[in-house]
Amino acid sequence: MTRSAHRIAFGQRLRDLRQEHDWASQEAFAHHVGLDRTYVSGLERGTRNPTLDVLVKLAHGLDVTPSELLSTVK
Amino acid sequence: MTRSAHRIAFGQRLRDLRQEHDWASQEAFAHHVGLDRTYVSGLERGTRNPTLDVLVKLAHGLDVTPSELLSTVK
């Protein structure tokens, strides 16, 4: 699985937002948004390539806009 | 292929940015970003579900950030 600069930036942003929004565990957050914990883990490590549908689902689960979710991605 | 509100909003945004940035044809823009014209057409109609990698490629091709590319997506 390829890690690239934009995937790593996205993963870090996702982790930061999850923790800021008081989802201490990946598992609880994954359940909240209807995704698998291992998939969320891969997203945060920058090894996965989420689709727009997944980005929207993550953003809604974090109470941010999809645009805010990508704010650090270049 | 499923069209949903966020895919439609994204597609309209992509079309608006492409035209604002003087890519009159989908074909010329698709070539510029290294994607197939039919795929770009599907994105603009809201029938496709682009990955983060594709969103970054489109944003770079339009000289906007990925965040700006999703600015109208809820």
Could you tell me the residue ranges of all domains in chain B? 5-69
**For the domain with range A5-69, which CATH number is right: 3.20.20.80, 1.10.260.40, 3.30.200.20, 2.40.50.100?**
1.10.260.40
- This complex has an ipTM of 0.95
The widest CA-to-CA distance across chain A, in whole angstroms, is 29
Bridge partners of B51, per DSSP, are A51
Select the residue from B6, B48, B70 to test the A interface by mutation, using most A Cβ atoms within 10 A. B70
- What 3-state class would DSSP assign to B72? coil
Cα dihedral A56, A61, A66, A69, rounded to 10, equals -130
What pLDDT was estimated at residue B1?
Answer: 60
**Position B3 confidence tier, pLDDT thresholds 50, 70, 90:** confident
What pLDDT was estimated at residue B39?
Answer: 98
Query: Mean of the pLDDT values across residues A3-24?
Result: 95
What pLDDT was estimated at residue B42?
Answer: 98
Tens-place pLDDT, residues A17-63: 999 998 989 999 999 999 999 999 999 999 999 999 999 999 999 99
How many Cβ contacts (< 8 angstroms) between chains A and B? 61
| A chain contacts of residue B42, beta-carbon cutoff 8 Å | none
Would you give the distance in Å from CA A14 to the centre of its chain? Answer: 4
